[in-house]
Amino acid sequence: MSGAIVPLIAATTRQRQMREEERMTCYNKNDLEGWEFKIVRSQFGSFRNPENIEKLCREEARAGWEMLEKFDDYRIRFKRCLDKRAMDRFAEIDPYRTGYETGLSAVMWIIITITLLGVGLGLFFLAANR
């Protein structure tokens, strides 16, 4: 039962963020003409660190993206002129990526996974010995 709570909380958080982003990104027809927009997300708050923001902006700029605003430590919004799509075939990164993590975040995923596996195995063996 408790295993279903974490995905439920994550889904609820995503829904709340999506509603919030819709309110924060109201566009009129003139705003959209000739432009495209995206939000890059970090699951671990990588945008708390200004160096990560600078690195992300440099990478995105290679594909023509300009930072519009930082919503919070987890989300940054970008825009680019539609003409920049011609550069996509030369891009070193996916020009439409919406996720960003630093190397530290990958390590955090590994630690979390190992910890959860350890807890799960511990509970399994504990229950099996009863």
Burial of 126 (C-beta count, 10 Å sphere; 0-12/13-18/19+): exposed
CA 101 – CA 45 distance, rounded (Å): 9
CA 49 – CA 64 distance, rounded (Å): 23
Q: pLDDT tens digits for the chain (130 residues)?
A: 455 666 666 667 777 777 777 777 677 777 788 999 999 999 889 999 999 999 999 999 999 999 999 999 999 999 999 999 999 998 888 999 999 987 655 667 778 889 999 898 888 888 888 7
pTM metric for this prediction: 0.66
Q: Are the CB atoms for 79 and 36 separated by under 8 Å?
A: yes
- Residue spans per domain, the chain: 2-101
